[in-house]
Chains A and B, each alone.
Chain A
Amino acid sequence: MTRATAIVNIHKEGLLLAPTLNSLRLAKTNAVAAGYDIELLVIADNADQITVNVAKQYLDVIDRIIPVEFADLGASREYGIAQAQNDWVFLHDGDDLFSSNWFTKFFEMQANGEIDPRTIYHTSLFARFGMEIDIRQMIDSWDARFHPLFLASEWYFSNKSVLNRKIFDDFPMPYNNKRIGIGNEDWTWSCHTINAGIRHSYLPETICFYRTKSAETSLGLTPGMIHDASPLFDPENILRHEIQRAGRPERIRAFADSMTAKGDPVIGDGLPPGWFWHEVTLQGTFESLISDYRAVPHGVLRCQLPNLHYNVVSATQFLMRDLDERPKIFIFATMENLCAADKIVELFLKAAHDHNNQSHQPVLVVDEGAHVFSDFGLMGRFGAKIICISHFQRFYKTEEYYHNRLLMRPLVQFKGSIILDLGSDVFAQLFQEFHRVFLENFESVTAVLFDAYQDVMSPALNNTAQNITLSKAHKGRELQVFAQPDLADTLQQNLDQNIQPWPNELTDSINATTRHRYRSITHADGFELNQLLAPPPPAPVIPLPAETFGKGVSFQVEQSGEVDFLILKHSKVKSYLYRTNDTWMPKDWYPEALKFLHNNKHIWIVPPQISVSKNQTGQYISRWNTFSAPQDIFSVWYDRCFTGETTPIAVITREPICKTPPKTAAELAKALYYYCVDPDKKVSTCGETLAIATGKSP
């Protein structure tokens, strides 16, 4: 008799583990009643006490609870598989539920000789419940409609499956690494296995009820993660798969042909079958959220096939085509963001081509704007692969939700390469989502700025500054930045980041290709890329210039923290500054406000006229402050402290507003509110001053 082991990986599911184990208990009871034998293992990876306590209530069905400390789902799954007493293993997470026939169906098919040890079996339906509610009908990887390159943009096969663990001998389970942004281990693993001809299929009439949660609590939805490189995406394998597909005897269905328009009907959609509703009733007793399928109006809920985007296949083939086996030098550029873009891009392509005796292949990823590129010409001159973003997007009709992920594929496939960004929009867009991947998986990531001075509307400068902010927040490997010497000094102070000046040779080359480009003789025709790739020298510690408050104003810091409290002295008169530490005020405001206070004896508090706060999604919101009834405004400031919106608070006062300086923004707003209970404590702005929240971006 075939035996199997069911493995449940748990972490911090809390009470939500109970519905899962209730569900698996029923499936196991049914299998045992049918005469089959199944071992149930729980692998508790850094599990909290509540979760472990829940698991311990199921010792009637759990054979072993094994505590581990991998802090990695892939690793703890691998460990569980090694601990199993049987070769056939079912894999589960700690918050999903499974149809009551999940184990039995496998054993029955096994008994009928219908199970292949080189196939991975998933559930027939993948029904999402909770925050989102829908049903995905699993597609067989050997189905004529399925193309392996769909896996470039979408996750088709989860690890909730049953398989023979010998497959892991050939294809070990990848790990998930949040720090470096490489994860979605089941996605990567399905790429590896499908490339090797391992089939992913499903057990008929079985269901995985998959709990959908917020991104904050869902490992699968961790932002900025991407599936790893896989032989599936190697150019020679891409070609091999295409040839194999063409040679298959099954008739390719219409919408999966090599030439297809988007929006063709997806064959296979249908209403949920009776056995689905039967399981909704059963599993609904374990988890009431599952009963919510019944609330969906009749006809709306359908068993949908996953997206079958054939344009993704073509797009991936285009991205990977012509990439040779050498590591790459990816050059990102937006032509509109650069002056003399044509010459600068060629300058960098040449440097990349010549780097270490052509040890790398240049890849230009470019927002081409109004430029028309000769990819053949650039390939001929520099051996370069060219990806023109607008053309790519238009031609392959890539959709927004997977566009970035798709563009990352050649990069991930060639981890360890060199990245050069010329202040481009496309790099900023990718870096915003995948900065951990860039910073931790490549030989170097370097930004080169060509601006002459700090122009607040320069797109390249703004892109690079935003990338620097993300890089600093990552607190790992840093983005290297080069700028013109004058600008480098300014940016270094304003961004508190080591900005290196252009090497002299680069300066000469840039000048030759820009300012002197129309002269018959130029003296520099290129530069060595090594100058930009060497690790930056240790940055000298440059103390930030001490804050000043205007001419003739002395100050004494009484408290610094979430709320700064300073005594300011001007013309021997003391005033008091209360300011939250994430508030920016224009420099001129301080002396003006002090003067205003000095000249208007009936005024006790000078606040800003306009508050620009930042909400949780990073949006700025301006509000006009009217202080005819100051308590009303301070009350609003107080309330906003509890809404997740960062409100800038800064006031200069004639006297301390309370005995002990407030420690938090809420305390400060509250103190201002109560100070103004006295109607004589008049409040007035001086001029149209802005206070801006500098809270961190989400």
Chain B
Amino acid sequence: MNGAEISSYWQAYLDLIELWAKGTWDEADLALHFKDHGQAEGRRITHAADAPGDWSDWHYFKNSRDHYQWWWRKGVIKSGIYAALIEGDSAMQRGCVSRDAHIQKITAMSQTALEQLVENSQDHPGNGPLAAVSSENMQWGAQKAIGLLPLTDALRAGFSDRFGYVIVLPWLESGGAELVGLWHYLAARELGLNPLIVLGDKPDVTKRFLAHDLNILNLPEIYAQATGNQYSDLIKEDQTRVLTAAIEVLQPETLHLIHSFIGYSALSDKPLKTRIRAACKTIFVSAFCPHIHAPGNFDGYFRYIPEIHDIVDKFVFDNDWYLQEMQAMYQLSATKTIAMKYPIDSVKPIKPAPVKRPKVLWASRFDSQKNPQIVADIARHLPELDFVMYGRRVLGDVEINWQAMPENVTDGGEFFNIDALPFDECFAFLYTSKFDGTPNILMEIASRGLPIVTPNIGGISGFLGHDWPEYVANPEDVQGYVASLDRLNKNRSHAKKLLEIQSRILKDERSFKAFVAAKSALLTVS
């Protein structure tokens, strides 16, 4: 018997371990014991080589608080494998990592898979999944695809043209941002750039936009068709990956981002912004005036400017006031910013119809920003006038109590088209907003031939100029509104003069032709 065999003999039996540990017997005594007694008693010589590859003493003794463990803990025996081999399968099961029921349970893996985990752990001590299992259960994940490959296949098939001007919008509903996007689209088409609108957030397109025969890449819809999954079910990060993949397929000459949350999120993500930059020659980004919430905090997409300015060629604002605000806030250079004057759809002044009582038109959102409640105070001061208010609650941050309104104020209901408003019955338009950029409604009202009373806020002077006679001092200036409306009611020649100024502004500054020229200049410079 050699030394290893003797060792594997005495370490399998507690009584012999004790004799060896105390130095009472040495190897020769133990060898003699086997020869004289052990063999006859049926004791065996075990072989360490019989130990499976995933044997673990640490695991074995964690579950076996017996006398062997005591000797092992004291450092007298180096391993429990000899005793386990003698004890048979139940003991072996406790020391083989892959056969341990608890490990199988917390990993949800079969013995075959666990054997490989152990092999991995032997190759990479301390760093594989098995090392992590000691602190937490192994996670199993679903095979959830984003679907980038089928999506890009579908995009290549459906949008193989070379698009010179790609506009990323959130959707095409009824907001000012969509209108701005439309004007850029129409101008790009006029300039022969083969434009495309990409809807980055939601698939919604209203009839108003369908009428324009636009080339639209409805990303949520195409995504659903290509993958069978809903775009809205993706997390935001995956939506940004989808949008980025789409831009990479399109490889546009110019990318213009307008108010798409997913677009801004993609542009502010480090890896994605690098890919988007590489896919486009020029990047424009539009931002409009901030939104002031009822408690007084304000936000908007302008907050992304510090994160994205390094890859943006031009920030396109809708008025000089806001451009200057942004320049002051972030010191954006003049070469990186531009304010554009957006055109008006059509100029169609409505002839006034005979009315019993003079009427003032108010049309906007019934939200805190638009300050609709103040109309009640104005109307109380002007009982000789009627006020008709059109609009709907969007943000729900203000409640109008129509019961408490003066009798000369009526609720006109919602409106979806400017031409649904009763221009022929009214002699003036009242605008009471607390903050704004360049409100499109004012240009549309001017195009239908009503003189405007408004505070000079935000970018309004970019439309009406700094010297507009019917500016009130501030959005809460009830007396100012009253005086202006009274003046327009009593002095119709003054009203006519204002209409002439409005008409001239629309013609000179807000024509589509002028916008196309400005856009052409922008593209040339960029």
Segment from B70-78, B379-387, B463-471, B480-488 that makes contact with A: B70-78
Q: How far is the CB of A367 from chain B (nearest CB, A)?
A: 15
Answer yes or no: B241 CB below 8 A from chain A CBs.
Answer: yes
Find B139's partner among A455, A610, A620, A692 (CB 8 Å cutoff): A620
Closest approach, in angstroms, between the C-beta of B309 and any C-beta of chain A?
Answer: 6
Would B126 and A343 count as touching, CB distance under 8 A? no
Per-residue CB contact flags for chain B residues 143-158 toward chain A (1 = under 8 Å, else 0) read 1111111100000000
Expressed in whole angstroms, the minimum distance between the Cβ of B369 and any Cβ of chain A is 15
In the assembled complex, B4 has its CB within 8 A of some CB on chain A: no
A621 touching B113 by the CB < 8 A rule?
no
Evaluate contact between B331 and A54: CB separation under 8 angstroms.
Answer: yes
* Residues of chain B lying within 8 A (CB to CB) of residue A404: none
Return the CB mask of A437-469 against B: 1 if under 8 Å, else 0.
000000000000000111111110111111011
Q: Could you give, for residues 92-131 of chain B, a 1 whenever the CB lies within 8 Å of some chain A CB and a 0 otherwise?
A: 0000010000000001111011001111111111111111
A461 touching B299, Cβ below 8 Å: no
Residue contact A295 to B109, C-beta cutoff 8 Å: no
Residues of A within 8 A of B178 (CB): none
Residues of A within 8 Å of B116, CB to CB, are 586, 689-690
A516 touches B23 (CB 8 A): yes
Please pick, from B118, B140, B143, B297, the residue contacting A291 in the complex, using a CB distance under 8 A.
B297
Count A-B pairs with CB separation below 8 Å: 221
Q: Could you tell me the distance between the alpha carbons of A550 and B58 in the complex, rounded to whole angstroms?
A: 31
State how many residues of chain A have any CB contact under 8 Å with chain B: 86
CA distance A454 to B97 in the complex (A): 14
The residue on A at minimum CB distance from B144 is A636
Inter-subunit contact B295/A295 (CB<8 Å): yes
Report the minimum CB–CB distance from B291 to chain A (whole Å): 10
- Report Cα–Cα, A687/B122, bound state, in Å: 21
Q: B435 → chain A, closest Cβ, in Å? A: 13
B66 at interface (Cβ–Cβ under 8 A)?
no
B396 is an interface residue with CB less than 8 A from chain A: no
Binds B, one of A15-23, A154-162, A247-255: A15-23
Cα distance, A352 to B389, chains bound together (Å):
88
| Contact A623 B140, beta carbon cutoff 8 Å | yes
| CB of A116 closer than 8 Å to a CB of B | no
Determine if A625 and B299 form an interchain contact, defined as CB atoms under 8 angstroms apart.
no
Q: Do B129 and A494 touch (CB < 8 A)? A: no
- The 8 A CB mask of A677-698 against B (1 = contact, 0 = none) is 0000000000111101010010
In the assembled complex, B402 has its CB within 8 A of some CB on chain A: no
> Is B305 an interface position by the 8 A CB rule?
yes
Contact B127 A514 (CB under 8 A): no
A639-B57 in contact given A462-B125, A469-B127, A619-B132 (Cβ < 8 Å): no
In the complex, whether B328 has a CB less than 8 A from a CB of chain A is yes
A29–chain B nearest beta-carbon distance, Å: 14
Q: Does A289 contact B (CB under 8 A)?
A: yes
Smallest Cβ distance from A431 to chain B, in angstroms?
12
The answer to whether A456 and B56 have CB atoms under 8 Å apart is: yes
- Cβ contact within 8 Å between B58 and A457: yes
CB-based contact A22/B125 at 8 Å: no
| Measured CA separation A586–B310 after assembly (Å) | 46
Does B215 have its Cβ within 8 Å of any Cβ on chain A? Answer: no
Residue picked from B54, B119, B127, B237, most chain A C-beta under 10 Å: B127
A599 at the interface (CB under 8 A from B): no
Residue A57, interface by CB 8 Å: yes
**Contact with B149, one of A18, A462, A586, A638 (Cβ below 8 angstroms):** A638
The proximity string for A residues 79-104 relative to B, scoring 1 for CB distances below 8 Å and 0 otherwise, is 00000000000000000000000000
Contact of B331 among A15, A495, A632 (CB under 8 A): A15
**Contact indicator B144/A456 (Cβ below 8 Å):** no
Whether the pair B290, A288 counts as a contact (CB closer than 8 A) is yes
B75 touches A517 (CB 8 A): yes
Is B86 an interface position by the 8 A CB rule? no
> Are B138 and A15 closer than 8 Å at their CB atoms?
no
Contact A18 B125 (CB under 8 A): no
A690 → B minimal CB distance (Å)? 4
Cβ-defined contact, A456 with B125, below 8 A: yes
Contact A494 B122 (CB under 8 A): yes
Assembled-state Cα–Cα distance A148/B455 (Å) = 57
**Cβ–Cβ < 8 Å partners of A626 in chain B:** 143
Q: Does B79 contact A (CB under 8 A)?
A: yes
Query: Which single residue of chain A is at the shortest CB-CB distance from B302?
Result: A288
Given known A14-B306, A339-B72, A690-B116, contact A294–B139 (CB-CB < 8 A):
no
CB distance from A465 to the nearest CB of B (A): 3
Whether A456 contacts B130 by the Cβ 8 Å rule is yes
Residue with the highest number of chain A CB atoms closer than 10 Å, among B128, B310, B333: B128
A464–B124 alpha-carbon span in the complex (Å): 12
Cβ-based interface call for B21 (8 A): yes
Evaluate whether A632 and B143 lie within 8 angstroms (CB atoms) in the complex, with A339-B73, A620-B132, A670-B149 already known.
yes
Least CB distance, B356 to chain A, in whole angstroms: 47
7 A-B pairs whose Cβ atoms sit less than 8 Å apart in the complex: A54-B330, A57-B331, A284-B298, A452-B57, A457-B59, A457-B62, A639-B148
> Besides A288-B297, A622-B138, 12 other CB < 8 A contacts?
A19-B329, A19-B330, A50-B310, A54-B330, A281-B296, A291-B298, A291-B299, A292-B299, A469-B126, A518-B21, A621-B139, A642-B146
